[in-house]
Amino acid sequence: RRHRKFRVLVLMSDTGGGHRASALALAQALEKLYPGAFDIELLDIWSAAGVWPLNQLVRAYKYLGRRPMLWRLLWYSTASVVTRGTIKAWHDAQHRRRFASELGRRRFDAVVSVHPLTQHVPLSALRQELKSTVPFVTVVTDLGSAHPMWFDSRVDRVFVPNAKVARLAMSHGLERRQITEHGLPLRAAFFAGPTPWTSWKQHRRRRLEQLAQRRAIPGVAIVGGGGGVGRLDRLVDEAIRALEARAQRAHLTVICGTNRGLRAALDNRPPSRYVRIRTEGFVSNIHDIMARSDVLLTKAGPGTIAEAATLGLPVLLTTFLPGQERGNARLVVDRGFGVLERRPDKVAALLCDWLDDPAKLAQLSQRAFDAAKPDSTDKIATDIASMLFSSIDDPTTRDQNLN
């Protein structure tokens, strides 16, 4: 009956790597489940239509990601109920028309937001300025907690990763019927195969067999989110020192993300007798690197943690962004597939202990698998598609954007 594709506008921002990764995951799932049916556009609306300094969010995040005290101040002050109202009113007054004109230039059948700052003003722009009733969906890409800005009661649906975030959504005014709990959207490579469950189960069996045997040269993936943050150079130094002291062989792969300075510094290190290091910039095959590794050292990024769980990869958390990532660290510890240790020398000692103890690694891996939700992406994509199909079939909710 339809002669054109369904157009989905995904609102996001490259603050870290997680929002884009989730957007791509959903796009892949929609294409896999409904080949050729969807046209998906990613829009960083703050960079495109924000006024200074809000059009600089991506740079600001990089700056703040390396300054946890400042980040803490910003996170908690914007989360408080008093400042939140003021900030929303200010953002709205300054940006509603600008966002309306940015959105008004496009045609789309649904909006999917995967960023905490793309609910409030885009909804005001759509509903108040453009008088559009196009379905608006939020997919929360945080894991152990979520900033209150994620939640706006005007959304048609919010997808949350777990019951804790569902409760948070309700405490911020959403109704139960608006909330769906599936998990974080992850890119298909993390559970590649025609059906997530069968290929994931095969992977789980292989991984557990592999970890139960001591490997001559175990692999360690070191990741600091998309931006390569979290003092990775110091961690690598300590890890190498500890491994050499125990004459323990290991292969470290350090994923520096967009942090070029870090990569250059690591590449200038003198060679080590026992430890091989490979540095990478921002890679598109992070799943391969993680799948080859026995342990992941990382900051408590939600995407990276959910990916590690899906791959059954034990996690050694070395830091977290105050506020935003604290709950993620708690989740890893509670679910028993990793620990949080912030002192680099202790991280290094723990790493050596784990690499020396296949039974421990296998146990952590089993628990990581138990925490995984490999079918979450397909479920979210299916729900979004059915919402879209029913809104289009229903003439009363038909939007002026449709033609």
Q: Does 225 participate in binding ligand UDP (rule CB under 6 A)?
A: yes
Q: Does 303 participate in binding ligand UDP (rule CB under 6 A)?
A: yes
Q: Which amino acid is at 280?
A: E
C-alpha 91, offset from chain centre: 25
For the bound state, the minimum distance from the C-beta of residue 13 to ligand UDP, rounded and expressed in Å, comes to: 10
d(Cα 181, Cα 139) in Å, to the nearest integer? 10
Phi, psi of 255 (to 5 degrees): -95, 110
What would the x/- binding string for ligand UDP be over residues 230 to 269, using CB under 6 A? -------------------------x-x------------
Q: Does 58 participate in binding ligand UDP (rule CB under 6 A)?
A: no
Stretch that binds ligand UDP, among 50-58, 193-201, 233-241, 299-307 (CB under 6 A): 299-307
What end-to-end distance do the CA atoms of the chain give, in Å?
13
Comparing CB distances to ligand UDP, the nearer of 319 and 391 is 319
Stretch that binds ligand UDP, among 39-47, 165-173, 225-233, 312-320 (CB under 6 A): 225-233
For the bound state, the minimum distance from the C-beta of residue 347 to ligand UDP, rounded and expressed in Å, comes to: 18
d(Cα 99, Cα 132) in Å, to the nearest integer? 13
Comparing CB distances to ligand UDP, the nearer of 61 and 108 is 61
Residue choice 28, 178, 304, 365 for contact with ligand UDP (CB under 6 A):
304
Q: Six-digit token pair at 32?
A: 């896999």
For the bound state, the minimum distance from the C-beta of residue 257 to ligand UDP, rounded and expressed in Å, comes to: 4
Name the residue whose CB lies closest to ligand UDP.
Answer: 301
Comparing CB distances to ligand UDP, the nearer of 65 and 122 is 65
DSSP 108: -
Q: Does 283 participate in binding ligand UDP (rule CB under 6 A)?
A: yes
SS3 state at 187: coil
Cβ contact 166:179 at 8 Å: yes
Q: Does 16 participate in binding ligand UDP (rule CB under 6 A)?
A: yes
Between the CA of residue 330 and those of 86, 243, 262, 327, 354, what are the distances in Å? 31, 28, 28, 5, 20
Cβ contact 57:13 at 8 Å: yes
Residue choice 286, 309, 372, 392 for contact with ligand UDP (CB under 6 A):
286
Q: Does 302 participate in binding ligand UDP (rule CB under 6 A)?
A: yes
Comparing CB distances to ligand UDP, the nearer of 108 and 320 is 320
For the bound state, the minimum distance from the C-beta of residue 248 to ligand UDP, rounded and expressed in Å, comes to: 26
For the bound state, the minimum distance from the C-beta of residue 77 to ligand UDP, rounded and expressed in Å, comes to: 20
For the bound state, the minimum distance from the C-beta of residue 298 to ligand UDP, rounded and expressed in Å, comes to: 7
Comparing CB distances to ligand UDP, the nearer of 125 and 308 is 308
Task: Give every CB contact of residue 34 below 8 A, 6+ residues apart in sequence.
Answer: 385
Phi, psi of 37 (to 5 degrees): -85, -20
Residue choice 6, 7, 13, 18 for contact with ligand UDP (CB under 6 A):
18
d(Cα 156, Cα 56) in Å, to the nearest integer? 29
For the bound state, the minimum distance from the C-beta of residue 253 to ligand UDP, rounded and expressed in Å, comes to: 11
Task: Give every CB contact of residue 16 below 8 A, 6+ residues apart in sequence.
Answer: 61, 65, 225, 226, 227, 301
Q: From the CA atom positions of the chain, what is the Rg in Å?
A: 22
Residue among 134, 110, 154, 121 at smallest CA distance from 48: 121
Q: How many CB atoms lie within 10 A of CB 147?
A: 19
Q: Does 40 participate in binding ligand UDP (rule CB under 6 A)?
A: no
Residues in the site for ligand UDP, rule: CB under 6 A? 16-18, 21, 225-227, 255, 257, 282-283, 286, 301-304, 307
